[in-house]
């Protein structure tokens, strides 16, 4: 594994192609710029994967704890579940704290059961 980011590799390829003619395999250079923008805006390949129930918990408490506290406050709740029916999600969070924290920080994750990508709304 190298210390290069995917973006740095993309930039190296981009810079190499920039030295070629205005058209590359019949594609106008402007089209390549569009792909560069798309790549820059794209989500990471290795999004955290979390169960739907945990995602619902994250959505609910991210807003509350973003306004009034921190990630540690949301994670601290795992020791005091509200009822026995919620034990599964708290158990998952307790055993996958890094994945939960990454989803919290990124504000985007993949739902384990469906593969759906969930993005939290940007704070206003």
Any residues with CB less than 8 A from the CB of 17 and at least 6 apart, and which? 24, 32
Higher pLDDT among residues 45 and 107, named by residue: 107
**Cα distance between residue 72 and residue 92, in whole Å:** 16
pLDDT tens string 95-115: 898 999 899 888 899 999 998
Pair 26, 84 in one domain: no
Pair 60, 89 in one domain: yes
Structure tokens at 86: 């919620």
Q: Give the single-character DSSP code of 86.
A: G
Pair 54, 115 in one domain: yes
Task: Give residue 34's pLDDT.
Answer: 77
Any residues with CB less than 8 A from the CB of 6 and at least 6 apart, and which? 45
Structure confidence at residue 124 as a pLDDT band (50, 70, 90)? very low
Task: Please determine, for residue 84, whether its predicted confidence score (pLDDT) is greater than 60.
Answer: no
The residue assigned the tokens 């290069």 is 4
Pair 65, 88 in one domain: yes
Q: Are 65 and 73 in contact (CB under 8 A)?
A: yes
**pLDDT (average), residues 46-69:** 81
């Amino acid at each position: 594994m190298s210390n290069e980011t995917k973006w740095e590799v993309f930039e190296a390829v981009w810079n190499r192609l920039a030295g070629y003619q205005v058209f590359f395999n019949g594609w106008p250079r402007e089209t390549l710029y569009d792909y560069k923008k798309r790549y820059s805006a794209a989500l990471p390949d290795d999004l955290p994967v979390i169960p739907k129930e945990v995602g619902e918990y994250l959505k609910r408490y991210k807003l509350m704890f973003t306004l009034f506290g921190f990630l540690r406050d949301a994670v601290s709740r795992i020791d005091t579940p509200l009822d026995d029916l919620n034990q599964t999600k708290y158990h998952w969070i307790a055993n996958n704290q890094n994945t939960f924290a990454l989803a919290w920080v990124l504000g985007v994750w993949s739902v384990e059961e469906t593969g759906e990508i969930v993005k939290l709304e940007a704070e206003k």
